[in-house]
Amino acid sequence: MISTGYSEEEIKTLVKMYRTLLRKMRPVLKEGDAKIIRKAFNFALEAHKNDRRKSGEPYVYHPISVAMICVEEMGLGTTSVLAALLHDVVEDTHYTIEDIREHFGEKVARIVDGLTKIKVTMSKTPTIQAENFRKVLLTIAEDARVILIKIADRLHNMRTLDSMPKDKQLKIAAETEYLYAPLAHRLGLYSIKSELEDLYLKYADPSAYEEVVSKLKNSEEARKRFIRMFSRPIEEALQKEGFKFIIKSRTKSIRSIYNKMKRQNISFEEVYDLFAIRIILQDIPYEQEKKACWTVYSIVTDFYTPNTERTRDWITIPKANGYESLHTTVMSKSGKWVEVQIRTERMDDIAEKGYAAHWKYKDKSGITTEQGIELWLNHVREMLEKNDTSAMEFMDDFRSNLFQDEIFVFTPKGEMKMLPVNASVLDFAFLVHSEIGAKCIGAKINNKLVPITHKLQNGDQVEILTSAKARPNESWLKYVVTSRARSKIKDLIKEDKKQIANYGKEIVARKLAQLKVPFGEKTIQQMMEYFNQKTEFDLFYSIGSEMIPHNEIKAFYDATQRLESTRITKRTDDASLIKKEIKALTGNDELIIGDTNGLDLEYSFAQCCRPIPGDEIFGFATSTNGIKIHRVSCPNATKLMANYSYRILKAKWASQKFIQEFDVLLHVEGTDRIGVINEITQVIANKKVNILTIDMKAHDGIFSGSIGLSVHDRAELDELIRQLENIKGIVNIAREDEITAQST
């Protein structure tokens, strides 16, 4: 069965993995499935026989594990398992899509093709990761299993990230946090979404991750005792009513606990909702589910007083990703708030396995829970049909709607529509039809006239008002939150701007030709950065409309030439060139900040996060401004690592004590009283730390503001913060960028 290239011990492991996979698939296997799965298993073994992972184990363990996730954690079937087993064959071996098609059929080949990354023969570009992901999403139009397998692939990569170098860990984790976790959330894969976020924290902030894990472990027995006492009267009452059920607890994810601690500036012990009680009703017919869940709600609230403001009915109106459950938060006898989730087995299956589970129930009479996700997938297909949106624009628009909560509103005829929270009249108008959106001048909401900027509320009945003279403009983009409305408005504006942009492009091409500079992607990217333009279109439009004077193109050329006269900036966007230069002189590819070892490297510290010695850092090779040093916890780090991973440089601080001082900005909040600011400045003066700026404001008994300081390193800053926290009335004190990151 197993080809050469594997040790005896590895063969035993592979046989065990194969048998486990088949055993897990047994409930969904049809006649002939086992035979074709064995064929795909052997095909993958042969194709990857010479491949090893960074850990040293056979590479084929990875596709087998991905297939296992598809079966066990997503509930997918035979076609998905075949594609998962073969998903890296075309990318990493000599086999082609035609080989897959010949041996396993068109459907499997199409999925594998969607999962295969774009082969790049040219130099890397800033958009290549966005293009790769766009290609995966394109296959959604034909088969949504592509994206599910892609998420399973990413989950296994995150589970086995320990063997990768630190810089690779950060890049992969950042990409996961930036895109894959929100995508899993949107597809209803809550367990996978939580695990991806937890694993991101494990690599982005190991100490914070370990702190939460340790405290969860230490408090586990106390939680179990509390849950048993809380659940006992509910269990007895449910049994008397004749319900078949399971009661289990769900601990809040590590990342969610950490975020709450940071956002509210509280300790682990102060997080009241560490867990939820989940009541899962068994053997309930679909048509009786709603009644049964509300009956259980009544039983729970007979014993415990509910907080009516925290009751959520996602059974009557499911979330857009299909999630159904009845949530309530009740006060326990010991004075603790406890969230109780009530659902049926069908609802729990969908909550755990998301989009994949919908297919199991799709043909049952009356069930329409897949509608929300289907509507969203149809919208993704619409976005993908657009040919004039850059990959980066697409990625940003796509991501913007992944994590939004929903509201429901009604048309004049009573048809219900789902929209994100904070959606406006314009969002609704474009949801109804692009033409209606384009001519919208306002609306009647519950028979009251409102402007296009008005934000909709749950239950609103909306009648759109239009005018033939209306025309979208740039300001409309400020009033919409849906990617559909945003992309349609941009399209309509672009129609007017295209001629100007084409004219601007001709000017750029002509000017660059005169300067003997190639009109290529690298030059355009440099111009975008130099002129602070987000897209190529914006650049050409600004030049065509003379918002950027034409003689500024010569100024750009002169600035670029000055930068390229230095050794480091000959190819500042080529991190691989810099790594080779560092490695040739130091023996490794890590940039040592504070000790250049004779390297003629220019770098500066990013103002978005102001790194200081002691912070975990990385380098980012910009196109025009040399190397920027960022903190790993920088608010922009995730996006930089996810979208420009090839520009990332490993970096660390030199071991010696720094004589120079570094600027930091502290955000301070507290209760206002006479002398509190004086106490703050006195503590800082006693630590012999120089104050650069101080900006404080007070309102209604609360003061807040910022203090700019010069410190030598992280240890000095941390000690200062600890002493400031001891001042009476101080509620929160942290570095300014950390406050910004928590609010985004």
pLDDT digits 0-9 by tens, 547-567: 888 888 888 887 776 555 444
Nearest to 195 by CA among 168, 163, 160, 165: 160
The half-sphere exposure of 600 on its side-chain side, counting CA atoms within 13 A, is 6
The pLDDT confidence band at residue 183, using thresholds 50, 70 and 90, is confident
Which tokens hold the place of 650? 């490993």
d(CA 514, CA 517): 8
Annotation marks residue 495 as catalytic: no
pLDDT at 188: 79
d(CA 223, CA 659): 49
End-to-end CA distance of the chain: 53
pLDDT at 556: 84
* Bridge partners, 615 (sequence order): 613
DSSP 620: E
- Pairing, β 603-605 against β 627-631: parallel
**Token pair 């909702």 is at which residue?**
273
276 backbone dihedrals φ, ψ, rounded to 5°: -130, 150
pLDDT at 366: 43
**Sign (positive or negative) of CA dihedral 52, 53, 58, 60:** negative
- Alpha carbon distances (Å) from 281 to 233, 244, 249, 303, 341: 16, 6, 14, 19, 11
Nearest to 579 by CA among 606, 619, 622, 536: 619
pLDDT at 725: 87
Annotation marks residue 92 as catalytic: yes
Question: Is 109 within 8 Å of 83 (Cβ atoms)?
Answer: no
Give alpha helix (H) positions in 310-457.
345-353, 355-361, 371-385, 391-400, 425-432, 434-438
What domains sit in the chain, N to C, each tagged with a CATH number?
8-205 (1.10.3210.10), 213-371 (3.30.460.10), 491-565 (no CATH), 569-653 (no CATH), 662-743 (3.30.70.260)
Nearest to 68 by CA among 56, 79, 57, 76: 76
Which tokens hold the place of 257? 């606990």
Which tokens hold the place of 277? 């009680």
- The H or E element containing residue 419 is strand 416-420
Q: Convert the pLDDT of each residue in 698-718 to its tens digit.
A: 877 788 888 999 998 888 998
DSSP 3: P
Q: Convert the pLDDT of each residue in 489-539 to its tens digit.
A: 888 887 777 888 888 999 998 888 888 888 887 788 888 888 888 788 889
**Token pair 């990409």 is at which residue?**
175
Q: Convert the pLDDT of each residue in 416-450 to its tens digit.
A: 788 888 899 999 999 898 899 999 999 999 888 99
The pLDDT confidence band at residue 196, using thresholds 50, 70 and 90, is very high
d(CA 654, CA 92): 38
pLDDT at 122: 36
Q: Convert the pLDDT of each residue in 78-105 to its tens digit.
A: 999 999 999 999 988 889 999 999 999 9
Predicted TM-score (pTM) of the model is: 0.69
Which tokens hold the place of 131? 């293009």
Catalytic residue among 10, 92, 374, 382: 92
d(CA 300, CA 556): 69
Burial of residue 166, with CB atoms counted within 10 A of its CB: 0-12 exposed, 13-18 middle, 19 or more buried: middle
The pLDDT confidence band at residue 569, using thresholds 50, 70 and 90, is very low
- Alpha carbon distances (Å) from 510 to 5, 380, 519, 541: 58, 38, 9, 15
